[in-house]
Amino acid sequence: MAGLKGWREIPIGGMILEAGNAENYLTGGWRAFRPVRGQAECIHCFQCWLFCPDSSIMVDPVNEKMLGFDLQHCKGCGICAKVCPVNAKVIKNAGEELSRDDERLCIRMLVEGQVEE
């Protein structure tokens, strides 16, 4: 475990004194499903950003645009796709239950490792 600090160099009791350093801990490898953008037009409502439990929705706060997914940290829970109002509208218009990877959706969930993007 090269590069890790010794027991005299770290805060006691497992305390983390540096705020926000979970960003350095890459957890994208846990993912079984990957969110990708579908054909439906994103309305940049930020619902996905609001509900993502892991700050994995990348946004441009100045221009208020949703930019994409931070796949270094996204664990593929699919909450973004669930709360997406555009997805809801697409499903309603289709009049049927769509599969999570349906191309017509705004946020699609693909099986991780699937070649299609």
Partner 1 sequence: MSTFEALTGDQSFATAMRQINPDVVAAYPITPQTETVEFFAEYVADGLVDTAFVTVESEHSAMSACIGASAAGARVMTATSANGLALMWEMVYIAASLRCPIVMSLVNRALSGPINIHCDHSDVMGMRDAGWIVLFSENNQEVYDNAFQAVRIAEHPDVLLPVAVCQDGFITSHAMERVEVYDDARVKAFIGTYKPQWPLLDIDHPKTFGPLDFYDYYYEHKRQQVLAMENALPVILDVAAEFNREFGRNYGLFEAYRLDDAEVAVVVTNSTAGTTRVVVDQLRAQGLKVGLLKLRVFRPFPARELADALRHLKAVAVMDRSISFGAMSNAGPLFLELAAALALHGVRLPMADYVFGLGGRDITPREIEPVFHDALRMAASGRAERMVTYLSVRE
Contact set with partner 1 (CB under 8 A): 1, 4-7, 10-19
State residue 107 phi and psi, 5-degree precision.
-115, 120
Nearer to partner 1, 22 or 67 (CB): 22
Q: What six digits make up the tokens of 101?
A: 């990877």
Alpha-carbon span 25 to 46, nearest angstrom = 24
**Min separation Cβ 50 and partner 1, Å:** 22
3-state secondary structure of 18: coil
Q: How far is the CB of 72 from partner 1 (least distance, A)?
A: 18
Specify the residue, 4 or 115, whose C-beta has the smaller distance to partner 1: 4
Contact between 77 and 53 under an 8 Å Cβ cutoff? The reply is yes
Strands 65-69 and 33-37 come out as unpaired
User: Phi and psi for 60 in degrees, rounded to 5?
Assistant: -105, 100
Q: Is the CB of 1 or the CB of 115 nearer to partner 1?
A: 1
Residue with smaller CB distance to partner 1, 2 or 115: 2
Q: Least distance (Å) from partner 1 to the CB of residue 74?
A: 18
Nearest distance from C-beta of residue 3 to partner 1, angstroms: 10
